[in-house]
Structure 1
């Protein structure tokens, strides 16, 4: 008998993967957590039935959250990650020598615990001495921080459950206040095929707060539609004004200095969402 998992990405569309075995399943205080071993994508983390990350394609998402912002800010010493309990964004941040300290705040400690156990290639840097891991509400943590961080990265689930407040204008205003005067933030903002209204709203909200707002894209096979967007808000620095020869050489699988700029060249139907 074959075992398959299907994520219903809309009411009439989904993706499916053949499963070798279930590694762990648990209902945490915040969400349903499943860790599966798949035939095609290795170990896979699910939250509330949605694919969060897999061993095979995780590098795309984590690199594209971290590197465009860190290579836009000239001196990103203090970095905050909201969500991201799997540790992949932290791993990528630590590739930058200028970063002195990373704070990760995730509301669900079980995500951190089981990522360390079943996704060690992703979560392996959470024990690094430059990293502080807090199990806390990222929304409330942001609300209390004032001009504390150079870069803030929001690595959240889709806007359901505990992450719903992380897509509100008040949260982006809090991020603005938590950033230093030259600060930058980036957030994953879902896909343009099924969540066009969400992208349009986020762009409008961020533009009303940040003087520089950019949308960029990446291809992530296990995320709804495969085409994923990220929104960057900056107080001072424009990612399109970075000097390519000043982008440091780091080990990556997806991000390159050329892709830094190409990712902001949007398909027409996506460009229409930000106009």
Structure 2
């Protein structure tokens, strides 16, 4: 939501991360506000983090810190797969993950499937540094339901990256085992699936079931950590489901010009703090903040 501080004649955007936690950023101007068939969309220019994309009141990215998320979503799997040629991105209509995927020389085809074409259009117009790979020769943009798309492309992809919004409304199914089985079917015989499973501090009640649902489908599930200043709590958890390979050790160097990911970051990100390991194993109770 946006509000005006009458004391200073300032406009602020506030995201409610949980019932007890909010994050506010001062807004210089509103770039666009619209409703798609699926969600509300805002692009704002903030004083601290540059341009910001907001869907249904939740921060999706800012220009200042988006690289932290998008590099960790893409490069961990792509650098630990022996030969990733075909990559599917589920969601990610802003194009940030796609931008990172096409950096890899081995990748021949990168398909972005997002059900909301208005998110794609908004990013093209207002976030050119994020959406810049949408016209890359390797890229295919498909504004449609990813579940439908995957059922028609079984066994096709080496890596599937699920760059979903928070697991509410239309995105809720993207964190459940039936969806993960569809992902399994669309992967090649040695494929990886990557997704984020939120924060252990604000979203443990989402994180733990999502991790458990992946373990119902994949023989090997690993978690790794990254930092995202404008996501709830700033501590973000990712998960990889693997059919065969161990994703914790990179097999190749990352592309040049990255700002967050390195091979050392890759290795270190798989080290889980004890409290998080206990949460994921069910040894520690999860208290919902909603």
Q: Smaller-chain TM-score range? A: over 0.9
Q: Residues 64-213 of structure 1: matches in 2 within 5 Å?
A: 64-213=72-221
- Structure 2 match to 1:262: 268
1:215 corresponds to which of 202, 214, 223: 223
Q: CA deviation at 1:67?
A: 0.2
Q: CA deviation at 1:68?
A: 0.3
Work out the CA distance in 2 between the residues paired with 1:169 and 1:46: 27
Output the TM-score relative to the length of structure 1.
0.97
Counterpart of 1:259 in 2: which secondary structure? helix
Work out the CA distance in 2 between the residues paired with 1:25 and 1:241: 43
Q: CA deviation at 1:201?
A: 1.1
List structure 1 segments (4+ residues) > 4 angstroms apart after TM superposition: none
- Structure 1 match to 2:51: 43
Structure 1 unaligned residues grouped into runs of 5+: none
Work out the CA distance in 2 between the residues paired with 1:242 and 1:34: 37
Does 1:3 find its partner at 2:16?
no
Output the TM-score relative to the length of structure 2.
0.92
Deviates more, 1:185-194 or 1:195-204: 195-204
Deviations 1:246-271 (A, max 9, x none): 32452211111100011111122111
Work out the CA distance in 2 between the residues paired with 1:248 and 1:21: 36
Q: CA deviation at 1:142?
A: 2.1
**Aligned positions, number:** 273
Indicate conservation of the 8 Å contact 1:139/1:165, yes or no.
Answer: no
Work out the CA distance in 2 between the residues paired with 1:142 and 1:97: 24
- Structure 1 match to 2:3: none
Q: CA deviation at 1:138?
A: 1.3
